[in-house]
């Protein structure tokens, strides 16, 4: 009889234990789902899936275009790609691709041209051509693993570290690095031209064309407008303008 009285008590204790364990597990699960890291990881996955859906839509439209359908457009797909390119997920992918490119060095890295090819779709309206690029890009995701997603998401949870690594996406992306070099060279050239023009002007020479260039360099619209009113030629080049003052530039020394 004593054992029979204990059975209900044991059952109640087991039920209580199960309830406690379920509560603890549910709390941990809720805490995990509400954590910032989980939300960022889910955001990366959601936006990646949206991009893949967009690429697949381009592929399907390209297939239909081969059947002679002329009314197809890719306006909506281009809009969605543009949104992705401006997203935090794109930033995380930039960092991740940069690290992959750094690791492979001079060896071929298929992800290296991902963003260049993706943005190329924005500049075309031909449905078939866009679909071909979409095929190329979709295939890249075939080998993307859970570890890759975790790594990509981590760049959003640790932004200071990601910013330090972000420059790698410039250094190991040939197209971006080339463009940066061109812009840097142009900036240095403009700086030298500005120095020469100010040297000429310091000699008391009053030329609206010089003022026009100086206004452009300093981004001063008032100077630009006044120089044009004074007769500045907006089509004149810096080379032609400087050639007119060869004598005045003989004593010029670069700063």
Delimit the domains of the chain by residue range. Answer: 1-34, 36-172, 179-249
Contacts (Cβ under 8 Å, ≥6 apart) of 112: 97, 100, 101, 172, 173, 174
Contacts (Cβ under 8 Å, ≥6 apart) of 180: 170
Q: How confident is residue 9, by pLDDT bands cut at 50, 70 and 90?
A: low
8 A C-beta contact, residue 246 and residue 200: no
Average pLDDT value over all residues in the chain? 84
Give the mean pLDDT of 177-203. Answer: 78
- Look up tokens 């810096």; give the residue: 238
Cα gap 243→93, rounded to integer Å:
48
- Higher-confidence residue of 165 and 96: namely 96
8 A C-beta contact, residue 138 and residue 59: yes
**The CA-based dihedral angle spanning residues 181, 183, 184, 185, taken in that order and rounded to the nearest 10 degrees:** 80
Give the mean pLDDT of 129-139. Answer: 96
Dig out the tokens for 182 from the structure.
């061109």
Give the mean pLDDT of 158-170. Answer: 82
Cα gap 209→139, rounded to integer Å:
55
Cα gap 215→210, rounded to integer Å:
9
What confidence tens digit (pLDDT) does each residue in 171-180 have?
777 677 777 7
Position 32 pLDDT exceeds 90 = no
Q: Please tell me the predicted confidence (pLDDT) of residue 195.
A: 87
Work out the percent of the chain whose per-residue pLDDT is above 90: 33
Q: Please tell me the predicted confidence (pLDDT) of residue 19.
A: 74
Helix or strand run (H / E) with residue 225 = helix 221-229
Q: Please tell me the predicted confidence (pLDDT) of residue 8.
A: 66
User: What proportions of the chain, in percent to the nearest 5, are helix, strand and coil?
Assistant: 80, 0, 20
């Amino acid at each position: 009889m004593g054992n029979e009285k204990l059975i209900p008590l044991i059952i109640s204790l087991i039920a209580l234990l199960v309830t406690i364990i379920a509560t603890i597990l549910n709390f941990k699960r809720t805490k995990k789902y509400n954590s910032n890291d989980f939300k960022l990881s889910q955001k990366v996955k959601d936006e990646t899936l949206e991009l893949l859906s967009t690429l697949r839509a381009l592929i399907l439209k390209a297939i239909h275009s081969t059947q002679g359908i002329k009314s197809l457009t890719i306006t909506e797909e281009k809009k969605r790609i543009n949104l992705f390119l401006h997203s935090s997920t794109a930033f995380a992918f930039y960092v991740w691709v940069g690290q992959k490119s750094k690791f492979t060095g001079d060896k071929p890295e298929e992800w290296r041209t991902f963003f260049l090819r993706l943005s190329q779709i924005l500049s075309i309206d031909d449905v078939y051509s866009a679909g071909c690029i979409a095929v190329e890009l979709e295939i890249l995701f075939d080998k993307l693993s859970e570890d890759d997603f975790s790594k990509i998401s981590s760049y959003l949870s640790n932004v200071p570290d990601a910013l330090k690594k972000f420059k790698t996406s410039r250094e190991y992306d040939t197209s971006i690095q080339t463009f940066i070099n061109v812009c840097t060279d142009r900036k240095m050239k403009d700086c030298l031209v500005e120095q020469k023009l100010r040297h000429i002007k310091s000699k008391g020479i009053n030329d609206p064309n010089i003022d026009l260039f100086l206004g452009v360099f300093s981004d001063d619209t008032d100077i630009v407008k006044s120089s044009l009113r004074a007769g500045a030629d907006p089509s004149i080049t810096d080379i032609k303008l400087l050639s007119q003052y060869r004598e005045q530039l003989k004593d010029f020394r670069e700063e």
